[in-house]
Amino acid sequence: EHLGTGIPEDMYTKANVNSVEKCVTEALRVGAPIMIKASEGGGGKGVRRVDENDRAAIEVAFRQVQAEVPGSPIFVMKLSSGARHLEVQLLGDVYGNAIAVHGRDCSVQRRHQKILEEGPVAVAPAEIWREMERKAVKLCKEVAYHAAGTVEYLYANGEYTFLELNPRLQVEHPVSEWISGINLPACQVLVTMGVPLFGIPEIRAHRSEE
């Protein structure tokens, strides 16, 4: 198993690119336009867009991502043009319980960095958004994640695609706090101390309003 995560080594290796040659092969297979992204990147670092099936451009982009986030797993993804960046705020406890605490639309960005966060999410129909929340909660439970976290999606034309799970409390958490009335940093401390979600008054009030 890889790093004790329960992910088989061969599956982990297959999911990321660890050499220039593999990156070029996978990028050409996926087909331009693509994004080359470091799993541990953020804040605009460790991500490059390649618009053409050009070996030299792919190599340069891969080496730039490698240099910006040394040692990080790197992924090659098909670019979704015109998609909205939507994210579900999660909170899980050590007993396998998890809930969604609203979400945010982070589509207004500059150089791959979010500059405006909106909530609640309005661009996706209610039934689709509920489905996105349910699947985010299911993922949280399946990996036994306990703390505040965020599942991010790309959404376009009624369809959504999983982007990543951020296992941390993001700086934009106040958007979800203002909507829900839940103090996320305080809840994160409580669940880390072993308090179950249903033992937190703010969480019970939030669930009763849904």
Distances (CA, A) of 82 to 21, 51, 57, 151: 30, 15, 23, 20
C-alpha–C-alpha distance, residues 39 and 87, integer Å: 17
55-68 vs 20-30: helix crossing angle, rounded to 10: 120
C-alpha–C-alpha distance, residues 165 and 85, integer Å: 13
From 55, 130, 134, 168, the catalytic residue:
168
| Residue 110 known to be catalytic | no
Please give the torsion angle defined by the CA atoms of residues 156, 160, 164 and 168, in that order, rounded to the nearest 10 degrees: 90
C-alpha–C-alpha distance, residues 105 and 124, integer Å: 10
Query: Which phi and psi (to 5°) does residue 147 adopt?
Result: 155, -175
Q: Which sequence positions are flagged as catalytic? A: 168
